[in-house]
């Protein structure tokens, strides 16, 4: 018996030892992947911060080591680490300037580029230089790099400059062919998220609102580039009409869009001519790793809420979602944390589930009664995202932010024709009550049921109006005039009272300090990243499927993602009209 016990203990000890060895091996492997075999060297005076504009820009991203192991070449670039690096680089005497290397830079919304550009302009205000180089500048990349002191272009390169366009996809014809009819219920003339299911072109109201925000955004882009390049906005607008996208490098140089034509190897030589000590290039990742956090007893919490608003985050096709249950728990935790003196909600979302938005609104409301809550709107903070943002004490938006879209809709598919005529499936039913089979895809709603659904949607819409009116200190009648599902830019929302001030995330943090009564405090970001080992089991497949699909077949990828999210978020929804599809932007 003793030998048996001894053998069992020996086996267990061996398993524990093996587990420790395996964990050590994985940690070493991850560390090797994350550092690429090198350790960030000390930064020498005169160093240049090297920002690669290559990949898909998202609100925030943790370094994805396991995707590299899996061979994922689709990189994501975090706006948050970029902004942090630029801010600290401005304050450091070791950093002389910034080198922007333009690549295949994909940005979901102009406001995200605008905030990054504002940070670069602030960096320049400290007397430091910025130089950019690109083999090809996409329109959003050129807008961003136009802030540079010198724009360098490959002699055979190009600059995309042709204006903005939105091109929504309509599914009505496809649905008719397969025998599916979408039963649509909505409130608001501008709530056009349902139009792809019911029409083959934009309604006049939707065309009017899209034209309004596109021209507002394009006007701001023209003004910003005009200030940096010393060309009039009228001249730049005329350049867009003349299709300079196909112009030669010499013509772009002559027209003043770029400063010099050079190959990539000429960048370092150009920098050193003006700054002989600037020989060291430091990446954003390495620079941020070298920054030492300062410990404070009191802190401002910055909570990042980006993606579609869902009741639960189990949607494979949506890598970035706002999980209402998790966010509510996190906000409750921040409310009870006495070291947190104020909270900044960084919002970048086009909305989603109306039910989930209401739950988040409740927690934001409770939090704002205990300590100041300041909202910083990123690329979008619309519909359901505006719903809960309206409960904050103070709201910032970027001028190009898309916000508002105060409205509710519901979509319920009727697949009876597909099932019967196309697939040959027959259904029978036994029920105890008249409407026990309500909502099944095997039959459409009858007129009474349709009326009930419309009443249900209208009730949700009036609750939305009430929440906004209460949060913004407006009458419901005045909110109704701004609602109807209408999308506004941040600049327009400032004029009509839906936001308090135009500003960046840093402006929002400054306001939170003021309202919280703390001059010096730590900044802590939430939600906290998951442990690295969870990434091994969850994120790679989910992230790889999402990004690969969208980059390989962009149109189909977007359609599948949008339909899957709509199906997942339930019947009652508060989201911006379709995915904002700006062509000629990336």
Q: Count of residues for the chain?
A: 586
HEC-encoded secondary structure of 466-484: HHHHHHHCCCHHHHHHHCC
In 398-493, the DSSP E strands lie at: 402-404, 408-414, 487-489
Cβ atoms of 66 and 117 within 8 Å: the answer is: no
Nearest Cα neighbor of 157 from 242, 271, 252, 255 is 252
Strands 408-414 and 402-404: unpaired
The active-site residue out of 278, 353, 383, 405 is 383
CA 18 to chain centre: 42
**Beta partners for 283?**
50
Rounded to 5 degrees, φ, ψ at 267 are -65, -50
For residue 506, what are the contacts with CB-CB under 8 A and spacing of at least 6?
83, 87, 119
Q: 32 in the Ramachandran plot: left (φ > 0), alpha (ψ -120 to 50) or beta?
A: alpha
Q: Is 192 a catalytic residue?
A: no
Distance, in Å, from the CA atom of 215 to the CA atom of 201, rounded to the nearest integer, reads 20
Distance, in Å, from the CA atom of 143 to the CA atom of 401, rounded to the nearest integer, reads 16
Nearest Cα neighbor of 220 from 336, 113, 321 is 113
- State the maximum Cα–Cα separation within the chain, in Å, rounded to a whole number: 93
Nearest Cα neighbor of 75 from 56, 91, 99 is 56
Helix (H) or strand (E) holding 276: none
The active-site residue out of 191, 299, 365, 371 is 191
Distance, in Å, from the CA atom of 193 to the CA atom of 315, rounded to the nearest integer, reads 20
Q: What is the DSSP letter of 422?
A: I
Give all strands of the β-sheet with 351-353 in edge-to-edge order: 181-187, 408-414, 572-575, 351-353, 308-310, 321-323
Handedness of CA 355, 167, 82, 374 (dihedral sign): negative
CA 310 to chain centre: 15
Q: What is the dihedral of CA 158, 216, 351, 107, to 10 degrees?
A: 10
Cβ atoms of 180 and 413 within 8 Å: the answer is: yes
Distance, in Å, from the CA atom of 487 to the CA atom of 217, rounded to the nearest integer, reads 13
Q: Helix crossing, 354-370 with 324-336: angle to 10°?
A: 10
Q: Is 109 a catalytic residue?
A: no
Q: Which residues are catalytic?
A: 191, 383
């Amino acid at each position: 018996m003793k030998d048996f016990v001894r053998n069992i203990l020996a086996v267990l000890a061996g398993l524990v030892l093996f587990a420790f060895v395996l964990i050590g091996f994985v940690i070493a492997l991850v560390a090797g992947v994350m550092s690429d075999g090198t350790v960030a060297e000390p930064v020498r005076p005169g160093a240049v911060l090297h920002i690669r504009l290559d990949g898909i820009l998202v609100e925030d991203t943790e370094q994805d080591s396991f995707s590299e192991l899996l061979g994922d070449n689709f990189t994501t670039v975090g706006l948050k680490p970029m902004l942090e690096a630029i801010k600290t680089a401005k304050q450091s005497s070791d950093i002389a300037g910034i080198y922007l290397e333009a690549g295949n830079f994909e940005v979901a919304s102009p406001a995200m580029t605008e905030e990054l550009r504002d940070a670069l302009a602030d960096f320049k205000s400290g007397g430091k230089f910025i130089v950019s180089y690109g083999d090809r500048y996409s329109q959003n990349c050129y807008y961003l790099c136009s802030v540079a002191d010198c724009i360098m272009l490959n002699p055979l390169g190009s600059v995309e400059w042709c204006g903005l366009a939105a091109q929504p996809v309509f599914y009505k014809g496809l649905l008719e062919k397969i025998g599916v009819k979408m039963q649509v219920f909505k409130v608001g003339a501008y709530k056009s998220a349902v139009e792809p299911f019911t029409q083959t072109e934009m309604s006049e109201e939707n065309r009017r609102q899209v034209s309004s925000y596109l021209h507002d955004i394009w006007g701001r882009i023209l003004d910003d580039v005009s200030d940096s390049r010393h060309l009039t906005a009228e001249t730049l607008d005329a350049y867009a009409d003349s299709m300079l996208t196909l112009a030669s490098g010499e013509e772009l140089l002559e027209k003043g869009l770029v400063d010099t034509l050079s190959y990539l190897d000429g960048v370092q030589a150009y920098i050193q001519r003006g700054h002989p000590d600037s020989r060291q290039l430091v990446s954003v990742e390495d620079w941020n790793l070298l920054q030492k956090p300062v410990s404070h007893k009191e802190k401002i919490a910055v909570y990042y809420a980006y993606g579609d608003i869902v009741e639960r985050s189990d949607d494979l096709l949506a890598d970035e979602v706002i999980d209402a249950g998790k966010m509510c728990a996190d906000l409750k935790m921040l409310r009870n944390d006495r070291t947190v003196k104020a909270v900044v909600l960084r919002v970048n979302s086009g909305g989603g589930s109306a039910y989930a938005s209401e739950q988040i609104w409740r927690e934001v409301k409770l939090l704002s009664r205990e300590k100041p809550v300041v909202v910083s709107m990123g690329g979008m903070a619309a519909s359901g995202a505006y719903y809960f943002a309206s409960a904050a004490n103070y709201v910032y938006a970027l001028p190009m932010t898309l916000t508002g879209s105060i409205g509710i809709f519901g979509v319920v598919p009727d697949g009876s024709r597909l099932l019967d005529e196309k697939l040959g499936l027959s259904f029978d039913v036994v029920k105890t009550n008249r409407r026990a089979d309500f909502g099944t895809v095997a039959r459409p709603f009858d007129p009474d049921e349709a009326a009930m659904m419309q009443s249900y949607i209208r009730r949700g819409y009036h609750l939305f109006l009430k929440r906004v009116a209460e949060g913004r200190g407006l009458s419901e009648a005045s909110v109704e005039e701004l609602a109807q599902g209408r999308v506004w830019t941040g600049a327009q929302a400032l004029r009509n009272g839906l936001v308090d001030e135009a500003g960046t995330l840093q402006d929002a943090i400054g306001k939170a300090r003021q309202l919280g009564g703390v001059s010096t405090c730590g900044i802590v970001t939430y939600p906290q990243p998951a442990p690295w080992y969870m990434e091994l089991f969850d994120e790679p497949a989910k992230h790889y499927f999402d990004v690969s699909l969208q980059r390989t077949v962009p149109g189909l990828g977007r359609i599948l993602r949008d339909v899957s999210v709509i199906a997942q978020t339930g019947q009652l929804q508060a989201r911006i009209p379709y995915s904002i599809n700006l062509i000629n932007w990336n």
